[in-house]
Amino acid sequence: MPDLIAQGSNRWRRGLPEIAAGRDVLLGRQPQTSPPPSSLSSPPGAGIHAAYADAGGGAVAAMGQPQKRHIVAIPWAVPWDPSISRHHAVLTMLNGDRLRVTRDPRARNPIFYRGKPRDQFVVVPGEHFVIGQTTFTLARRPGFTSDSDQSPKPSADAVPSIRRGLSPNEHGEPASDADLTPDYIASPQSYEVTEMAFAESALRQRNFHDTQARIELLARLPDLVAGSISDEELFARVTDVLLRATPASSAVAIVRADLSEGSIPSPESDSVLPQMQILHYDVRDNDSTSHDVSTKLVAATLQRRESVLHLWETSPLRGGQASATDYTATENIDWAFCVPLRSEACRGWVLYVTGSRTALLTGDASINDSRTLVDRLSDDVKFAEVVGSLVSGMRQANQFQQRHAAMRRFFAPVVLDAIAGTDSENWLQPRECDLSVMFCDLRGFSRTSEMHSDDLLVLLKQVSAALGVMTKHILDTEGVIGDFHGDAAMGFWGWPLPLPHGTDPMVAASAAAARAAADIRRDYTKGASDFRCGIGIASGKAVAGRIGTVDQVKVTAFGPVVNLASRLEGLTKVFGVEILVDEATAKHLAVPDSVERKSTSDDLRLSGAKTATTRDGFHLRTLGRVRPAGTKNPIEIFQLIVPMENHPQLTEAQLRLSEQAFAAFGEGRWDDAYQQLHELPAWDRPKDVLLQRILQHHRVAPADWDGVLEFPK
């Protein structure tokens, strides 16, 4: 994959997208969005027209009509050059590392290629084009090599000999110059590589030689890094800082190794080293040669978890006819070091810096003084360690923020605040607890989906908006978003912590259901939504936490109570109501009516709700005993009645009459039930379920009637 280098009053180097990604690059002074399709229309036969039409992703018009192409582009800014328009060129990758450059119709100034203004052309690695005062060069990104020494070999039969250097002592200095000096002596028929590891604690204690210059760079580093809006921009800024802070460096790379297989084998072993990828690469100037990255050096760094320096010789013995510069002058490289990024967010990442000792030490024989060489490079290694620590910490913090943002989609803020600073992994472990579970399904989905069958994105937007009403109220009442099933959502209360302020899970669930049902009903009445809703609530024991398989997990709840809530939601369609709750929830929500209805029997009290008032002032209405599909034991279900302005509601007298009618139906007194049900309003849907069953049996209960309505699959 090639890179594009922009060089003007400022500079950057960025990796172009792969062909398979199907992405172009929109180049300009401040490109914020992709060009609108209309701006890319042109008469048939025009050169620019062909470029936009055949790159894919656009619609081809009828013969003789302009063609349009929607550009799905990555915006790359060149803010330092006023000659570059806001949107100036579209870059499209082609096979063979070629790059097609197309002038945007909105560009004011020409693009020069090979000295001539061109609207469309193709460049290959090594070529460049110019816009204003900025030169854009296409350069190949280097690959990897298994050699530690990447400079020319003194002879064809030269054999490398890797010798270990010593870790710095507590003062950050080599233990003994005598121990290091022989590592830099090479015979005419061989070359040697010195590998030195730097303990992190030792580097932390040593002082910079050029303290003031390093401090100035470090002071600006947090702002530079924190201002990055993407990993690509972060990589570009980090490599630029390292090139400026390491004067002897020729190139800087950010490398990622695949550590999914576990531990890193020794570079000297016969084991296969992990796959590696160059995330970003930059050189000091555009004319510099791109050098392959040493896999052995990267592997040694990851294995040791310490910074590692490689120094190599390609010259004969000191005093011979040639010097190291004879072999490194063209390659400009005879040392490299690697710094690991120590965080889970950067697992397997290293900073790779390579350069020449001639740029580091000039003018005398000190180039062969091992202590001076290692001491000077130790400064650069320490600075790279500081940069690596900052990048690691920043990406780790960003990762935590992303996880936190992702968890906010499932947990209420108060829940996140409660588990902050604790072991979240422990809190997410599945465990049994008392929950209230709610299922919400959208009514009218099939009809609406037929209406929008030609534009499914519009349908998705409407469904998301309606479900968003539900999820908002789940989170507002400190609930957890458990799952989505097409046009349905599931939430639950009572996990991972008790609700704050002593809130009861069943009360919270009913409050969320009531508010959501009222909002969805209001939107439907106003024509703002095509959906109504059905909600089922059940309470009891369940397992909640991170549940799933080895391949996929999610935070949800599991158990019979979850299944019951789903069944209740399904029964809302049968009874034509919005909210159904199970008996456990109804008993808990009902309050004694001693003030309003002193003559009412005890069965209306909290211990045995039939038709009662909830803590929120809603009504609970019994709909009898039912056996939902897929269940064995019958349950008693209740309608949670949420009043709404301009909608008819059952009066107190009608609620009492309903209670008597449903009781008569359950006891087998169907003739009485028939008479009482006919006294309820015609718009009351639940009564129709009982009337239908009564008429099917000619108003006489079957001999084996047990008071349970069956709802088979």
The CATH number of the domain where 57 resides is what?
2.60.200.20
Number of structural domains found in the chain: 3
Domain that holds residue 602: 413-647
Looking at residue 37, what DSSP letter applies? G
Question: Which of these three, 601, 619, 647, is where a domain ends?
Answer: 647
What pLDDT shows up at residue 364? Answer: 44
Q: 89-94 and 24-28 as β-strands: parallel, antiparallel, unpaired?
A: antiparallel
What angle, 0 to 180 degrees and rounded to 10, lies between the N-to-C axes of helices 670-677 and 686-696? 140
Judge if 392 and 515 occupy the same domain: no
Tokens of 335: 């040392």
What pLDDT shows up at residue 352? Answer: 95
- Among positive and negative, which fits the CA dihedral 526, 527, 529, 533? positive
Q: How many residues does the chain have?
A: 713
- Confirm whether 306 is domain-assigned: yes
- Confirm whether 682 is domain-assigned: no
Looking at residue 605, what DSSP letter applies? S
Q: Do 460 and 468 contact (CB within 8 A), yes or no?
A: no
Judge if 104 and 168 occupy the same domain: no
Q: Do 87 and 106 contact (CB within 8 A), yes or no?
A: yes
Three-point CA angle 711, 712, 713, nearest 5°: 120
- Confirm whether 666 is domain-assigned: no
- Confirm whether 23 is domain-assigned: yes
Judge if 525 and 389 occupy the same domain: no
Judge if 294 and 201 occupy the same domain: yes
- Confirm whether 120 is domain-assigned: yes
HSE-CB for 418 with a 13 A CA cutoff = 14
Judge if 155 and 128 occupy the same domain: no
Judge if 56 and 11 occupy the same domain: yes
Q: Which of 249, 544, 558, 566 is nearest to 377 (CA)?
A: 249
- Confirm whether 485 is domain-assigned: yes
Cα 708 to chain centroid, rounded: 49
What pLDDT shows up at residue 605? Answer: 36
Question: Which of these three, 632, 647, 662, is where a domain ends?
Answer: 647
Judge if 193 and 323 occupy the same domain: yes
Residues of the chain short of pLDDT 50, as ranges, are 34-70, 151-190, 315-330, 363-367, 594-609
Judge if 629 and 495 occupy the same domain: yes
Judge if 106 and 185 occupy the same domain: no
Whole-angstrom distance, CA of residue 13 vs CA of residue 598: 82
Judge if 504 and 385 occupy the same domain: no
Whole-angstrom distance, CA of residue 141 vs CA of residue 144: 10
Exposed/middle/buried for 347, CB within 10 Å: 0-12, 13-18, 19+?
Answer: middle
- Confirm whether 16 is domain-assigned: yes
Tokens of 609: 């709700």
Whole-angstrom distance, CA of residue 87 vs CA of residue 69: 16
Judge if 26 and 114 occupy the same domain: yes
Question: Which of these three, 592, 618, 647, is where a domain ends?
Answer: 647
Residue ranges of E strands in 444-575: 480-485, 488-493, 532-548, 553-558
What pLDDT shows up at residue 91? Answer: 95
Q: How many Cβ atoms are within 10 Å of 362's Cβ, its own excluded?
A: 11
Whole-angstrom distance, CA of residue 350 vs CA of residue 252: 11
Judge if 37 and 111 occupy the same domain: yes
Helix (H) / strand (E) containing 388: helix 370-408
244-248: long-range pairs with CB below 8 Å, 24+: 244/217, 245/214, 245/217, 245/380, 245/383, 245/387, 246/353, 246/355, 246/380, 246/383, 246/384, 247/359, 247/360, 248/355, 248/356, 248/357, 248/359, 248/360, 248/376, 248/377, 248/380
Q: CATH no. for residue 447?
A: 3.30.70.1230
- Confirm whether 579 is domain-assigned: yes
